[in-house]
A and B are shown apart, each in its own frame.
Chain A
Amino acid sequence: MVGLAATFGSGAMTNSINDFDGADLFLVIGSNTTSQHPLIGSRIINAVKRGAKLLLIDPREIQLAEFADLHLRHDIGTDVAVLNGIMNVIIEEGLDDKEFVETRTEGFDQLKDVVSKYPPRVVEKISGINSHDLKKAALMYAKADKAMLVYAMGITQHTTGVDNVKTCANLAMLTGHLGRPSTGVNPLRGQNNVQGACDMGALPNVYSGYQPVTDLAVKKKFEDAWGVAALNDKVGLTIIDMMIAAQKGGLKALYVMGENPLMSDPDTSHIEHALSNLDFLVVQDIFLSETAAKADVVLPAASFAEKEGTYTNTERRVQISGKAISSPGLARPDWQIICELSTLAGYPMNYKSPVDIMKDINAVTPSYAGITYERLERGYGLQWPCINEDHPGTPYLHKDKFSKGKGTFIPCEFKPVVEMPDEEYDFMLTTGRIYYQYHTGTMTRRTSILDREAPAALVEINPEDAKKLGIKNNEIVELTSRRGSIKLKAEITKRVPQNVVFSTFHFHESPVNILTSPAYDPIAKIPEYKGCAVKVRRCA
């Protein structure tokens, strides 16, 4: 999101899910869409069936590969080189959208300088993609009338995540695939309200609507609205920095609402040490998660079915969700718990319902100003920005100008994965999710059909590698990185290329994040889940 904010001025999916039906071409990079976002994955497949083209860039042979017109299987972490190579070909062939570049963007000369260093033969050496395929991909994307670029965590979960995102944005601007229906740069968000949590300012640097905490006019606005004498104007800690501060002793108390960092964060033993070093840990959740089991106080929360509220999906659509049943036992909706606690801490909150809270949000958040319960109840959600009660919402961004005026090309150089395989740790481990399970498994592992279909963690190993290591399908193997080791079953499959293994973080019995690298992107602080070095051994 930081990457898109820097280039366009707004860090969100530019277009809408319905736009998938009208696109001529999809460039899908770093998204296993049919597993992670199945209903968007099926839109892509349906579009391909009616004649749209699919250009897939992914190291793994994911399900979408079956439908792709061209699949580039680049080496893990070489995305910037591949995309720069595509731009190199587009400029060489004169296929850049000169009018768009001229009128809507700035910084083209710098981009040209950088991508000139990535001709196809150089990219081939870095990424393993042959020149012929790279050129073909460049022509496909540039010549399409309406091309949607789609990405997910395969782009962001790298130490170069922000560079990867900026490079995607550069490519879309270079070809003018922006600011129209069925085009754009479309990050697919991984959780049902990750967009909303960002929009609402659950971030260390901004209030709701991305209003910076360091901006004195913004600070004054919130002080007045909230009736507080002085708000803090220093940027706070990200989750990664919180864990480091806890380990060093500077952070004493942590309040965790509905998250499970002990399973989801990289390098588990570091997180475990950080949490145990706290003086006080509170966890508010619907289950006793791995993290909750370590807490000093655990607060039982209501599930989505037991409360009213709104969620914002990946296409910026705010939707209403009603209360179907009451909570079990003494469990309460999170908003009620927060109100009581804040009041006890000396800052009274007297909201009667989520409708009341939304009125507050409308008043201080320009992009949500026109999103009211009354309107949401009548229809099927509203897409921000929606600046007043008559505004219809915004299906696609950057129509005539970018949120920040002109779009800025921010060219990036290729940098490899921080922890590359070497003689001892000779495989690249990459991680992700599978279709039947979700995140740390707290919900899906408790669902019988899903646990029946995918009951245990598997590690995907290429048949050639398996042969060399003497590993058979379903045999138990041990994966070891510099940080720890886990045992799990092998799935011998060509889905992964040679010298790469893939696994998931859904299963607490084989917690893959014991292995993952704590290296992270210096700006976005996203960990490099998509690449670290491991060794693989058959268990006797």
Chain B
Amino acid sequence: MRRTRTVCPFCGCGCSFYLLSEGDRVTGIEPSPLNPVNKGMLCVKGWNAHEFIHSPERLTTPLIRKHGSLVESTWDEALKVVADRFLDIKKQFGSRALAFLSSAKVTNEENYLFMKMARAAFGTNNVDHCARL
């Protein structure tokens, strides 16, 4: 069994817990006893934060809309479509026609890269996330 220190994915308290895992299966949660935020305790959401990870509804492959419906694709194809369409639209309408909605759920590093991509690669400050919601 492996123990991996993580941060709860729900509210802003930032409770810390260990994910207990066997191979690629998370089997349980153990609150961090010494962490100054939650001191060994968790709420009902935190205690159950591992279940949705293994939901059969997880997205497991890129999807592209073809003839009206989303069909399975490869990373190469999907990323090329995204890059090409964004560059096309930028060429045609300017960078103001592009916008990037980041996330209060992903890591600091990912938020930093996302805003860097919007600003450095696509030239727009149309970047926001749902802090207001």
Residue positions of A touching B, CB distance < 8 A: 1, 17-18, 36-40, 42, 156, 188-205, 207-208, 213, 222, 226, 228, 231-232, 234-240, 242, 245-246, 250-259, 261, 264-265, 279-280, 282, 285-288, 292-293, 295-301, 303-307, 309-315, 317-326, 328-335, 337-342, 344-347, 349, 351, 354, 357-358, 360-361, 380-381, 435-436, 438, 442-444, 446-450, 453, 520, 524-527, 529
Contacts and interface: CB of A to CB of B under 8 A. Distances in A.
A237 B127 CA distance: 7
A345 B80 CA distance: 9
Contact of B43 (A38, A295, A346): A38
Which has the most chain B C-beta neighbours within 10 Å: A238, A322, A325?
A325
B62 A299 contact: yes
Which has the most chain A C-beta neighbours within 10 Å: B4, B61, B82, B112?
B112
B65 to A, nearest CB: 5
A231 B124 CA distance: 8
Interface string B72-114: 0001001111110111010001011111111111111111111
Contact of A296 (B24, B64, B100): B64
Contacts of A299: 62, 78-79, 82
B5 A255 contact: no
B64 A236 contact: no
Given A296-B64, A345-B83, 17 more contacts: A38-B43, A192-B7, A193-B107, A196-B111, A198-B129, A246-B99, A253-B85, A257-B102, A257-B103, A259-B103, A299-B78, A315-B37, A321-B7, A322-B5, A326-B24, A329-B58, A333-B110
10 contacts: A17-B13, A194-B131, A200-B108, A251-B99, A297-B63, A300-B62, A305-B53, A345-B117, A446-B51, A520-B132
B125 A235 contact: yes
A202 B102 contact: yes
Nearest to B86: A253
Contacts of B87: 345-346
Contact of A329 (B11, B14, B60, B95): B60
A193 B9 CA distance: 8
A300 B82 contact: no
Contacts, number: 434
Interface in B22-63: 23-26, 32, 34-38, 41-46, 48-55, 57-63
A324 B97 CA distance: 39
Contacts of A196: 104, 107-108, 111
A204 B108 contact: no
Nearest to A36: B11
A298 B73 CA distance: 10
Contact of A194 (B45, B104, B124): B104
A447 B48 contact: yes
Given A251-B97, A252-B89, A334 B106 contact: yes
A294 to B, nearest CB: 9
Nearest to A235: B125
B12 A37 contact: yes
B14 A317 contact: yes
Interface of B: 2, 4-16, 19, 21, 23-26, 32, 34-38, 41-46, 48-55, 57-65, 70, 75, 78-83, 85-87, 89, 93, 95-133
B101 A242 contact: yes
A302 to B, nearest CB: 10
Given A344-B79, A450-B45, A319 B14 contact: yes
Nearest to A200: B111
Given A17-B37, A253-B89, A279-B89, A335 B44 contact: no
A298 B119 contact: no
Contact of B100 (A228, A246, A255, A315): A255
B19 to A, nearest CB: 4
A532 B124 CA distance: 34
B106 A193 contact: yes
Contacts of B53: 303, 305-306, 325
Contacts of B82: 255, 282, 297, 299, 341, 344
A298 B43 contact: no
B63 to A, nearest CB: 4
A278 to B, nearest CB: 9
A242 B105 CA distance: 20
B109 A238 contact: no
Given A193-B104, A313-B14, A300 B59 contact: yes
Given A204-B128, A526-B132, A190 B115 contact: no
A242 B45 CA distance: 32
Nearest to B85: A280
Given A202-B114, A257-B114, A335-B109, A288 B59 contact: yes
Which has the most chain B C-beta neighbours within 10 Å: A323, A340, A342, A524?
A342
B108 A39 contact: no
Contacts of A361: 108-109, 112
Contacts of B113: 335, 338-339, 342, 349, 351, 357
B116 A226 contact: yes
B6 A322 contact: yes
Contacts of A337: 79
B59 A322 contact: no
